[in-house]
Structure 1
Amino acid sequence: MTGGRRRRAVAVAVGVVVALGLPAAVAAPARADSIRDMEYWLDDYGFYDAWDTTLGEGATVAVIDTGVDGSVPELQGVVVDGADMSGMGSADGQTPVGENSQHGTMVASMIAGRGTGAGSGVIGVAPEASILSISVALGDGAPGSDDQIADAVRWAVDHGADVINMSLTRNSIDWPESWDDAFSYAFDNDVVVVAAAGNRINGTDEVGAPATIPGVVAVAGVDAEGDASFDASSQGITIAVAAPSEQLVAVVPGGGYVIWDGTSGAAPLVSGLAALVKSAHPELDAANVINRIIATATPKGEPVPGPIYGYGLIDAEAAVTDEVPAVSANPIGDLAAWIATYRPSSGTVSVDTLVIPPPTATPSPTAVAAPAPPSTEVYDLVHWAVPLGLLLGFLILVATFVLGAVAQFKRLLRK
């Protein structure tokens, strides 16, 4: 749908949708290297310097999205395997499907695009990483999008993904129980999962799942100056880091380029960074890959971590080269602990879970019980206690008078 100079993706009310943002008209550069010049994040966020150490060789990133067209010049030879979970695409995951079908190719090009020559075309932030393309159909009319995502995550793990990129959202903070098992499977197999926070302009006012799942690297968006993007990002307490989400350039299916905004573009920058870290430090598990990304981020805003920038703006060179103490657990959350607390298998509600009690029913007049008669025991006690009390009081007065009289009589006898 075209409106003004920007073509906007419309988020649906239910199911999973791509966190697309604001794709602009396809660019037609006068010379090829003008595209490369648009990738300001390569220099501003330390990727050029990180490439002195690694280009991402040996790392594999799964793109769960609308399918990746591996035939475009920048992605030839990049997609090493794939699958289709929608029933609408091709078995290799390279046929774009569903709403915003260009989306998956755009995301993949920002992760591992090879360019079209020396200094020309789109080059991804991890230009020697490999891509797994897992196509899912999202939006109106998509068949069981929640199940597609769960199946896609498992397929990615089983086929060697080091990182999973999910530039999509449910537009809700919760997620189906089928995702518990799928994401737990990824974490148990040391796979880094990166998800877009979503975009306010698409109706995502707060971060939505999967970016709310404990252990998932939720990515917020900033503009070209590094300040929080109002339209092309959402905010929330699960944000891990922030990356550029405005004035992005990517490849579209069939070739050609698009200028776009949205955390759908910020997430692949972080996924590519995770691939660089994994390539430079293959001994690291997922928790320590994530820890290097958040520990080396440039803090911004208060508090840190915070709901706008998380731990800060990514720094690719520092994430790859700095000395970072090891951790023993995922620093951004434990899904297993969350499941044990909020989805107890016993069927009872955890004491830490906030619940709304059901409304109290108001009985009809015919169902109201008649008042019970006063207890006979209570009546008898009142009936006898009053006269007994009066009698006892009278006897005390008499005794006091007699004792006083006796004492006075004794004094008179002694005189």
Structure 2
Amino acid sequence: MTARRTLRSAAALAVVAASVLLLGATPTPTPPPVPDDPSDPVRASEYWLDGARIREAWQTTRGEGVTIAVIDTGIGKVPQTFGDAVVGGTDVSGAGRADGRTPLGAVDGDHGSWVASLAAGRGAPDGTGMIGVAPEANLLSISVGFGAAAAVPFTEQVAKGMRWAVDHGADIINLSFTTNTLDWDESWDDAFLYAFEHDVVVVVAAGNRGSGTNIIGAPATIPGVLTVGGVDQTGTASVEASTQGITIGISAPSEGLLGVSADGEVVRWRGTSGAAPIVAGIAALIRSAHPDIAAIDVINRIIKTAMPVADATRPQDPLYGYGLVDAEAAISASIPTVTENPMGDLAEWIRVYRRAETEPQPEPTVTPVAIPPLPAADAPTEPGSPLLPSPDSLRYGTLPLIALTVPGILIALGVTAAARRIRSARVPVRQIPDSEE
């Protein structure tokens, strides 16, 4: 059992120990209550808490013992929201501080804080203010810089951030960004494979049409990640705050979202950048409730228990994936374990497309047909003068020409002589008059 699984197991045992019954009966989890005031205007605005049945899932767990790594622009130092939530961090951009808590980017500086608050924000002690999906989960803040906000190439930042997150205990990694291209740098092959080999769930945003993404791009195209599409408050695929693609695995709210900025202000925003941490938080709830569960089974539970969408393509729709995420069902449903990641196998993809390795072909079993050798070619003739006739030119050229020409001449002469005789016979004898004698 890995160290992270041991921590989750200890947390789960602490939660359910008081309710274990005699005779081996199934214990009923009774997590300590966390203040939650649904009548608070801010808390009431978090419609996904009820729409995705997150409040129901809280009756079982709130994410204790699980760590979510947020690879983004940095998680701000907001005591009420992130005071005891952020347990570590780093900067891979070369522009931030060593703890990864300095917001990077004049435009996107609050993005990482918004994402983290949706995943595991703590909320106020009196049950008011914004609260995250997994309010007892831990966070790792890995700051990256988008565009001009970093001197280090972005692909290098992501690869380094993935490895750091895995090495520092991440159970789930959230990536709320896109590259607007289907392909990805080869350095990401090993980085993402490193996460999968260490049993980490990687949750990725699908991208938004409103920001110019018409179809999903990397890292949402990488086999094995759980790609999240976005829906509005009615559960309909968002036009601006989502996109489409065949790798979308699940859908979650992406419109009318709330987020806590780095300065503590609660703001409204939208996009699959917010849908992804909602799903990452639900993944944390699953791993907390099932401490020994494998990453591939977390993903499988999320997609197998999704709420179906009318008129969506079955089983996987390019807008909705497998459907709308259902936190309570993902935790409590009886789902068989799987042996393969339902969202694809990156190792196999690398083998086929990066290394062009194919399965060995079987040896042929049919006996080859023996073909007799061709007869020897005629010996070449001695070269002669081009001005003298050769046997072939005499045989196929001169003699046939003589044979046809001589009879033709004789016939022509005969015809000419006959014509002269005929004209001579037709001319009358001249009569000389008497006067000329």
- The reply to whether TM is greater than 0.5 is yes
Q: Does 1:119 align with 2:113?
A: no
| 1:143-188 per-position Cα deviation (integer Å, ceiling 9, x unaligned) | 2111000000000000000000000111111100000000000000
Question: SS at 1:140's partner residue?
Answer: helix
The Cα of 1:64 is off from its aligned counterpart by 0.1
Equivalence map 1:86-235=2 (5 Å): 86-98=93-105, 99-140=107-148, 142-143=150-151, 144-235=153-244
Q: Does 1:61 align with 2:68?
A: yes
Query: Is the CA contact 2:95–2:150 (under 8 Å) kept in the aligned structure 1?
Result: no
> Aligned partner of 1:317: which letter?
E
Matched residues in 2 for 1:132 and 1:229: separation?
29
Corresponding residue number in structure 1 for 2:330: 319
Equivalence map 1:317-396=2 (5 Å): 317-344=328-355
The Cα of 1:302 is off from its aligned counterpart by 1.3
Percent of aligned positions that are identical = 55
Question: SS at 1:268's partner residue?
Answer: helix
Question: SS at 1:221's partner residue?
Answer: strand
Query: Is the CA contact 2:248–2:318 (under 8 Å) kept in the aligned structure 1?
Result: yes
Matched residues in 2 for 1:303 and 1:32: separation?
38
| 1:18-68 per-position Cα deviation (integer Å, ceiling 9, x unaligned) | xxxxxxxxxxxxx99211110000001110010111100000000000000
Query: Is the CA contact 1:276–1:320 (under 8 Å) kept in the aligned structure 2?
Result: yes
| 1:96-141 per-position Cα deviation (integer Å, ceiling 9, x unaligned) | 1124010000000001111113331110010100000000001235
Query: Is the CA contact 1:70–1:78 (under 8 Å) kept in the aligned structure 2?
Result: no
> Aligned partner of 2:252: which letter?
A
Corresponding residue number in structure 2 for 1:50: 57
| 1:203-241 per-position Cα deviation (integer Å, ceiling 9, x unaligned) | 111001111000000000000000000100010000000
Matched residues in 2 for 1:86 and 1:149: separation?
9
Corresponding residue number in structure 1 for 2:376: none
Q: What count of residue pairs does the alignment treat as equivalent?
A: 330
The Cα of 1:304 is off from its aligned counterpart by 1.9
Q: Give the RMSD, CA atoms, in angstroms.
A: 2.5
Question: SS at 2:147's partner residue?
Answer: coil
Corresponding residue number in structure 2 for 1:37: 44
Bigger Cα displacement from structure 2, 140-149 vs 316-325? 140-149
Q: Which has the larger radius of gyration?
A: 2
Matched residues in 2 for 1:175 and 1:72: separation?
37
Structure 1 gap segments, 5+ residues each: 1-30, 352-375, 388-415
The Cα of 1:386 is off from its aligned counterpart by 8.8
The Cα of 1:383 is off from its aligned counterpart by 8.4
Question: SS at 1:250's partner residue?
Answer: strand
Question: SS at 2:230's partner residue?
Answer: strand
Bigger relative contact order (CA 8 A; separation at least 6):
1
Bigger Cα displacement from structure 2, 114-123 vs 164-173? 114-123
Residues 32 and 334 (structure 1), Cα distance of their counterparts in 2 relative to 1, 3 Å cut: same
Question: SS at 2:313's partner residue?
Answer: coil
Residues 280 and 62 (structure 1), Cα distance of their counterparts in 2 relative to 1, 3 Å cut: same
Bigger Cα displacement from structure 2, 140-149 vs 262-271? 140-149
Question: SS at 1:168's partner residue?
Answer: coil
> Aligned partner of 1:60: which letter?
T
The Cα of 1:345 is off from its aligned counterpart by 6.7
> Aligned partner of 1:328: which letter?
T
Corresponding residue number in structure 1 for 2:386: none
> Aligned partner of 1:65: which letter?
D
Matched residues in 1 for 2:331 and 2:130: separation?
22
Residues 44 and 340 (structure 1), Cα distance of their counterparts in 2 relative to 1, 3 Å cut: same
> Aligned partner of 1:173: which letter?
L
Matched residues in 2 for 1:82 and 1:385: separation?
99
Question: SS at 2:159's partner residue?
Answer: helix
Q: TM-score, normalised by structure 1?
A: 0.76
Structure 2 gap segments, 5+ residues each: 1-37, 362-379, 382-389, 398-437
Matched residues in 2 for 1:141 and 1:96: separation?
10
Question: SS at 1:190's partner residue?
Answer: coil
Question: SS at 1:169's partner residue?
Answer: coil
> Aligned partner of 2:282: which letter?
L
Equivalence map 1:16-35=2 (5 Å): 33-35=40-42
Query: Is the CA contact 2:95–2:149 (under 8 Å) kept in the aligned structure 1?
Result: no
| 1:68-106 per-position Cα deviation (integer Å, ceiling 9, x unaligned) | 013341111100000000111111111111240100000
> Aligned partner of 1:149: which letter?
V
| 1:358-387 per-position Cα deviation (integer Å, ceiling 9, x unaligned) | xxxxxxxxxxxxxxxxxx89xx9x989999
Query: Is the CA contact 1:113–1:127 (under 8 Å) kept in the aligned structure 2?
Result: yes
